[in-house]
Amino acid sequence: MGLLRKSLLGITVALCAALSSPAGAAEQGVRISIHMPKGSGEMPSPEKMVDALAAEGSPRRVLVTRRLDESGVGLNLDLWGSTPPAAEIPSQLRRTFPALEKAEIQCSTLDESLPPK
């Protein structure tokens, strides 16, 4: 409960180091923002969500930011590499992780100059 009373708790974790992209290759990323209202269940692990979205064996970069506040749990997954089209990601995550049924899931494009090094 004490953590929920804090206005914002941010934890940024770099989950995966990626293989370098070939010189000159533009690598567009996607930000997946997930918010689960308080009492709607437990957020699936970021690692499992990334694995469910990334093509097996594809090089990728991932940056995860988790937020916990009075309204619930929020998670941003910034992914660069091979992923499904952004329009398909929310439904794919909900199919794979039933706990996300009531979650708000939004996707946006990230600039290719933003991937973590």
The CATH class of 29-110 is alpha beta
> What is the structure's pLDDT at 37?
92
Domain boundaries, the chain: 29-110
Q: 66: closest CA among 85, 42, 89, 90?
A: 42
Residue with the two structure tokens 């004490």: 2
- Going residue by residue through the chain, which has 117 residues, state the pLDDT in tens, using 9 for 90 and above: 443 323 222 222 333 333 333 434 456 789 999 999 998 889 999 999 999 988 776 767 899 999 998 899 999 999 988 888 999 999 999 999 999 999 999 999 987 666 666
- Name beta bridge partners: 73: 36, 68
Gap between the Cα atoms of 115 and 51, Å rounded: 18
Joined together, the tokens standing for residue 79 give 């992914």
